[in-house]
Amino acid sequence: MSFTQLAMVHNQMIHNNLVVAEALHNLEQQREQVHHLSQFRTIISDAIVIKKVMETDAIVVLLEHM
């Protein structure tokens, strides 16, 4: 393998590593967004249960959501 070919392979490997690093970074950001979204959904669900408890018979609603 000539020096030029070796340099091209090396450059391609560096490029591939950068692509993989960017993809991993994007996946990590997406995972964090999903985590925050799931926390938000839990908070909203809890708020709905609290509202139902305040509006109706507390024991029945609590039993439904246990």
pLDDT surpassing 80 at residue 60:
no
The residue behind tokens 């609590």 is: 62
Q: How many domains does the chain have?
A: 1
Tokens of 5: 């070919």
> Taking the complete model, does pTM exceed 0.75, yes or no?
no
Question: In 10 A of CB 49, how many CB atoms?
Answer: 14
Residue range 3-45, pLDDT digits in tens:
888 888 888 888 888 888 888 888 888 877 777 777 767 767 7
Helix (H) or strand (E) holding 6: helix 3-55
Q: Which two tokens stand for residue 10?
A: 């090396």
> Residue 30: CA atoms inside 13 Å, Cβ hemisphere, count?
6
What residues make up the domain containing 31? 3-64
